[in-house]
Amino acid sequence: QVTAKTAFLFILPQYNVSVPTADGELVQYHYGLKDLVTILFYILIAIILHAVVQEYALDKINRRLHLSKVKHSKFNESGQLVAFHLTSVIWCLYVVVTEGYISNPRSLWENYPHVYLPFQVKFFYLCQLAYWLHALPELYFQKVRKEEIPRQLRCITLYLAHIAGAYLLNLTRLGLILLLLQYLAELFFHMARLVYFTDENNEKLFNVWAVVFVVTRLFTLTLYILVIGFGLPRVESQALDPERGNFFSFLFNNILFRMSVLLLVCLFQASVMWRFIHFQLRRWREYWNEQSSRKRAAATTSTKQQTKPLKRDTGYHENGVVKAENGTSPRTKKLKSP
């Protein structure tokens, strides 16, 4: 029994409480320090799954493609993230649909703070935190190049800040929808990179990713405006109450604070869109330059073929004199008169 209790501490989410409802009692969860033990266990699980995907899928594909070192590293990164994002999108979509967060958008801010979480919501957040924390030691295990480490560290830090912030500030419902939109765009991007590494002439999936990216950015910005601008200011409990998990909803009564937050959100989304537009313009410029270079090469080849010297059918030159094929002179000899 002692071993079982210790095992449950690592495997199952802790801090379960019985919440009375109209139909009876419902078991829900809140967060605490014991969550760190559960996250540690799932970090080890994530490392094992990472190694399995690398060994039995990505390495076999890499041996067939014969990629360079730079492409090999990017291929491994995109392959791992495609597996993770695909699993997370399916799982997150199942959670938000079954919990009714999509069918009832008002539930994103109603009854805030959302201190008590269903089992699947809390377990999803714990696994997400475990995955992005496991990505830190994987930078060493995968022998990532020094030039790539700052970019990947910045990405990991942003994801951890978003997920941990939503979890600790009781904004888990809003965080789930935002993660679903972000993971959906990232899934198409890394799928496009995998297809590009296998066939460099195939960039159609990048166009699909561009459309999905723009649509998800618009939905993200709309969701921020809806929740921060109109939802949270209408919450009944507007007093600062850390014990109940109400950390900052009272601040949204102040229109200056609310507009400042929305301005920061809009500026951040604008910077993301600017980088996206810059990336697309550079990609199109490279594509048209490649097409024009191919046309020039084809034109040069055809010109060379047209300007090749024609071979003479009769005779050849020897010491500056034209000789016939039988060695005699092509000139007609004059016959001497007898």
For residue 130, is it within any domain?
Answer: yes
For residue 125, is it within any domain?
Answer: yes
pLDDT band at 37 (very low <50, low <70, confident <90, very high): very high
Question: 302 or 121, which is more confident?
Answer: 121
State the burial class of residue 131 (Cβ atoms within 10 Å of its Cβ: 0-12, 13-18, 19+): buried
For residue 184, is it within any domain?
Answer: yes
pLDDT in tens, 65-124: 888 888 888 899 999 999 999 999 999 999 999 999 988 888 888 888 788 899 999 999
DSSP letters spanning 234-246: G-S--S-BGGGTB
For residue 146, is it within any domain?
Answer: yes
pLDDT in tens, 194-203: 998 888 777 7
For residue 106, is it within any domain?
Answer: yes
For residue 289, is it within any domain?
Answer: no
For residue 277, is it within any domain?
Answer: no
Count of CA atoms in the C-beta half-sphere (13 A) of 274: 6
Report how many domains make up the chain. 1
Residues paired with 117 in a beta bridge: 29
Structural domain that includes position 182: 1-201
Tokens of residue 293, six digits: 């270079």
Round the average pLDDT of the chain to a whole number and report it: 83
For residue 60, is it within any domain?
Answer: yes
pLDDT band at 146 (very low <50, low <70, confident <90, very high): confident
The average pLDDT across 116-137 equals: 94
Q: What is the pTM of this model?
A: 0.82
Q: Find out whether 197 and 152 touch, Cβ atoms under 8 Å.
A: no
